[in-house]
Amino acid sequence: MGYTQMNVLLVAPPLPSLYYTANVVFPPLALMYVASALEQDGHDVEIRDLTLDNSPIDYSNVELVGITCTTPQYNSALQVAKEAHEHGKIVMMGGVHVTFTAEETLKTGYVDYVIRGEGEETVRELCRALQEHGRNFDHMKIPGISWRDPDTKAIMHSPERCAIMDISGMPYPARHLVNLKRYPSKLKNRRATTLLASRGCPYKCVYCVVPNMNSAIYRQRPPESIVDEIEHIIENHDVDGILFVDDNFTINVRNTIRFCDELLKRRIDILWWCQSRADTLLKNEEMVDKMAQSGCYMVFLGLESPNERVLKSYNKKLRGDEGERVINLLSKYGIKTMGSFMMGEIQETEEEVENTINYATHIDPTYAQFSILTPFPGTKLFSAIKDRILHFNWDLFDGAHSVLKLDNLTKEQIEGLLKKAYKKFYLRASRIPQYLKNFVNPIKVKDTLRIIHRLRKLSKNYRISEHNPSFSGYPTLNSGD
């Protein structure tokens, strides 16, 4: 027996206790994309973001529950799955973590289907099959799912699903299903929300999961399509700040310039934020100029380390001196910077970590994020050093805890160096005048207090956010500078 129109609940699970102190929560863009695909097929879809509201879920009118999660959300996601399963609901789970831990997930008995890789078409086809046949359909005909055979209990996998090549043909995310005003993310004093301009990445950093996804192939929307969506967001959602969640927004330099020109041509007044690479920006100053003219407020830079040996071990393909040069270049055009620095490489010494901390304060990006190298499932790093992982408590795979046995540093040492990095960067004497200046600005005072509050947390239970693996818990997006 199949279903008619399905009532689908999509859930972003809560984050671990004390894990999320940054108060930076982003709308669940992946769920909104899945929701828009399901709505096109006539399904009734609801989104619950438990990172904002962890009140009890009413399952009475729900037939299918879909849950997304990152690695540190996994245990929380399983609790939601268990609850939905006990209410007799069909449960599917997707996201990067379960794509690579499908067997572990299905063996819990709480999840009926794991959605591997990009989920829009897979979930759509799964719902159609459930509509027509109930649970008695040919699972192998739906690429990208894993399930447990009800008779043999064996874990089964259908073939991989190819990446969605025409991402510009996808419907806009179902932003109408969430209250964007509840999300605190801002660029300067402007309400900001997320937007996806591309998928995939051609680079192969060992700590990143993207190279091992079947969706790693780089695909970009035409600049006109991106700007059309920005106009739609401005007109329908009272938002004038855009956070691009692309792994690397500026891979296609020509298209990035075209995007900036399109914003200028249409005279769209927004501020926007993106992630990029130092080497790309340094080679293309004309693009940086266009970015600044069109409202680029801040660029996130994965600089990681000034140590050439460490960068080589990460397969980062950067030089240690490029960080300072790119900070200066972006500052020249009035673009603020968030520098990301990593510590805890297997052979890294205390001297090398101290060098990274000193380098961060020397090149002085507007903000800095520090994290401990973490081997996420699906990464080349995870496969290469799995025998060094101290435990598999996924709650602590958050970039703030050491989960690896290092050659030269203990767990306590590296976690202490992480706290030292934040304190040294943000509590420097040169930073204090800016904090004091902000106290006389009514727009900035709240953000300054937030930064101070987070710094106090460093000595206790500081956590780095990976609600979206591309972002971390830092004072950037709420900054009023």
User: Domain with 293 in it: what CATH number?
Assistant: 3.80.30.20
Q: Is the pLDDT of residue 476 over 90?
A: no
The CATH number of residue 84's host domain is 3.40.50.280
Q: Which pLDDT score is estimated for 214?
A: 76
Indicate whether 442 belongs to any domain. yes
Q: For the chain, what is the mean pLDDT?
A: 90
Q: Is the pLDDT of residue 36 over 50?
A: yes
H/E element holding 203?
A: none
Are residues 240 and 151 both part of a single domain?
Answer: no
Distance CA 188, CA 479 (A): 6
Q: Which pLDDT score is estimated for 21?
A: 43
Distance CA 69, CA 72 (A): 8
Are residues 33 and 73 both part of a single domain?
Answer: yes
Q: Which pLDDT score is estimated for 433?
A: 77
Q: Which pLDDT score is estimated for 357?
A: 98
Range of the domain at 437: 185-457
Are residues 143 and 197 both part of a single domain?
Answer: no
Indicate whether 202 belongs to any domain. yes
Among 132-136, 155-159, 213-217, 452-456, name the one with the lowest average pLDDT.
452-456
Q: Residue 116: count other Cβ atoms within 10 Å of its Cβ.
A: 24
Indicate whether 72 belongs to any domain. yes
List C-alpha distances in Å: 286 to 258, 274, 279, 333.
Answer: 12, 17, 14, 11
Q: Which pLDDT score is estimated for 440?
A: 55
Are residues 150 and 189 both part of a single domain?
Answer: no
Identify the burial level of 142 via C-beta atoms within 10 angstroms of its C-beta, where 0-12 means exposed, 13-18 middle and 19 or more buried.
buried
Are residues 206 and 87 both part of a single domain?
Answer: no
Q: Is the pLDDT of residue 19 over 80?
A: no
Once rounded to an integer, what is the mean pLDDT over residues 54-62?
94
Q: Which pLDDT score is estimated for 20?
A: 46
Indicate whether 82 belongs to any domain. yes
E strand intervals along 15-154: 44-49, 64-68, 90-94, 113-115, 145-148
Are residues 400 and 271 both part of a single domain?
Answer: yes
Among 131-140, 294-303, 437-446, name the one with the lowest average pLDDT.
437-446
Indicate whether 471 belongs to any domain. no
Q: Which pLDDT score is estimated for 22?
A: 46
* Of 316 and 479, the one with more pLDDT: 316
Once rounded to an integer, what is the mean pLDDT over residues 253-281?
98
Are residues 238 and 148 both part of a single domain?
Answer: no
Once rounded to an integer, what is the mean pLDDT over residues 354-369?
97
Q: Which pLDDT score is estimated for 249?
A: 97
Q: Which pLDDT score is estimated for 215?
A: 73
> How many structural domains is the chain composed of?
2
Q: Which pLDDT score is estimated for 467?
A: 32
Q: pLDDT (tens digit, 9 = 90+) per residue, 86-96?
A: 999 999 999 99
Once rounded to an integer, what is the mean pLDDT over residues 161-173?
95
Distance CA 308, CA 9 (A): 47
Q: pLDDT (tens digit, 9 = 90+) per residue, 297-329?
A: 999 999 999 999 999 999 999 998 999 999 999
H/E element holding 81?
A: helix 74-86
Q: The dihedral of CA 434, 439, 442, 443: what is its sign? A: positive
Are residues 141 and 200 both part of a single domain?
Answer: no
Please report the DSSP string for 6-18 in residue order: -EEEEEEPPPPTT
List C-alpha distances in Å: 185 to 27, 31, 172, 263.
Answer: 9, 18, 20, 22
Q: Which pLDDT score is estimated for 459?
A: 44
Please report the DSSP string for 277-292 in residue order: -HHHHHH-HHHHHHHH
The residue with tokens 């529950």 is 65
Q: Is the pLDDT of residue 76 over 50?
A: yes
Once rounded to an integer, what is the mean pLDDT over residues 48-57?
93
* Of 18 and 100, the one with more pLDDT: 100
Determine how β-strand 190-195 pairs with β-strand 186-187: antiparallel
Indicate whether 474 belongs to any domain. no
Q: pLDDT (tens digit, 9 = 90+) per residue, 362-392?
A: 999 999 999 999 999 999 999 999 999 999 9
The residue with tokens 């899945």 is 34
Cα angle 185, 191, 196; round to 5: 70
Indicate whether 214 belongs to any domain. yes
Q: Is the pLDDT of residue 271 over 50?
A: yes
Are residues 131 and 211 both part of a single domain?
Answer: no
- Give this prediction's pTM: 0.90
Q: Which pLDDT score is estimated for 430?
A: 84
Reported as a pLDDT band with limits 50, 70 and 90, residue 189 is confident
Are residues 286 and 417 both part of a single domain?
Answer: yes
Domain boundary among 142, 157, 172: 157
Q: pLDDT (tens digit, 9 = 90+) per residue, 227-239?
A: 999 999 999 999 9
Output the 3-class SS for 217-258: CCEECCHHHHHHHHHHHHHHHCCCEEEECCCCCCCCHHHHHH
Please report the DSSP string for 321-380 in residue order: THHHHHHHHHHHTT-EEEEEEEE--TT--HHHHHHHHHHHHHH--SEEEEEE----TTSH
Q: Is the pLDDT of residue 469 over 50?
A: no
Are residues 428 and 309 both part of a single domain?
Answer: yes
Indicate whether 177 belongs to any domain. no
Q: Which pLDDT score is estimated for 5?
A: 85
Once rounded to an integer, what is the mean pLDDT over residues 11-36?
79
C-alpha closest to that of 372 among 460, 464, 290, 444: 464
Q: Is the pLDDT of residue 468 over 60?
A: no
102 within 8 A of 114, measured Cβ to Cβ: yes
Distance CA 185, CA 190 (A): 9
Are residues 360 and 267 both part of a single domain?
Answer: yes
Sheet harboring 241-244: ordered strands across?
Answer: 186-187, 190-195, 241-244, 271-276, 296-304, 336-343, 367-372
C-alpha closest to that of 198 among 143, 284, 259, 240: 259
C-alpha closest to that of 97 among 370, 395, 342, 314: 395
